[in-house]
Amino acid sequence: MSQADARSAASSDMISIHDTAVKAVAITFDDGPNPEFTPQILDIFREEGGRATFYMTGDQIERYPDTARLVQNEGHEIGNHTYTHPNLTELDEGAVRAEMVRTGDLIRGKVGVQPSTFRPPYLATDAQVERIARELGYAVIGGVNGAARDWDMPGVEHILNASLAVSEPGSILVFHDGHGDRSQTVEAVRALVKTLKKEGYVFLTASELLATK
């Protein structure tokens, strides 16, 4: 998804870029927590500074609650990414709501925080999904760097360059820390953070970024 696409998504309330004067981006991760790759990503932010947002699925939280708590304990944001990672646009209203509610309850129960942002799996959304998310108190978060395709393991340089190309103040960048080998993602994000930091960027959670002006 290009930045132009993100801005012109008039039919959707999903936020992929936030209009802000602050030189900040939100770096986000989907499909965790993962006990191998999530801690490696936490190490990057511990070394370089800033915070990220982790969109966790309920089934993974149940498998790895200690990793989920580690994310929270290090000051990062945990967002809702459904329980089973379905395409929500293919489900009826009750099933969509159940996916969001079940994972929200798990995050509160296992980690002790109330999530305030939600990312639909596959960035697949429609009016029903967004209405339910709003009713549950969630901002719906997208991402501008879909061309990075880190889930496909396209190579560190591809992930890095495709993400740098769409990084500007207010960009929300989407990566993955769960479901498979995420070693390329870890190295690409390490290089991305170092590069953007040198350019004067700060790294905020999705919620923090949305609060900037």
Cβ neighbours of residue 177 under 8 Å, at least 6 residues apart? 29, 30, 31, 32, 33, 34, 37, 38, 41, 54, 185
Active-site residue (options: 18, 30, 150, 177): 30
The answer to whether residue 5 is catalytic is: no
Percent of the chain clearing pLDDT 70 (strictly above): 95
Residues 122-180 have pLDDT tens digits of: 999 999 999 999 999 999 999 999 999 999 999 999 999 999 999 999 999 999 999 99
Residue 41: domain span: 3-210
The CATH number given to whatever domain includes residue 96 is 3.20.20.370
Check whether 10 has a pLDDT greater than 70. Answer: no
Active-site residue (options: 18, 76, 81, 176): 176
The answer to whether residue 176 is catalytic is: yes
Q: How far is CA 119 from CA 45, 89, 161, in A?
A: 21, 13, 23
Check whether 113 has a pLDDT greater than 80. Answer: yes
Mean pLDDT over all residues of the chain?
94
Question: Span 14-38, mean pLDDT?
Answer: 98
pTM: 0.94
Check whether 208 has a pLDDT greater than 70. Answer: yes
Number of domains in the chain: 1
Check whether 6 has a pLDDT greater than 90. Answer: no
Amino acid in the structure at residue 41? I
Neighbours of 145 (CB within 10 A): 26
Q: What's the rounded Cα separation, in Å, for the pair 114 and 180?
A: 27
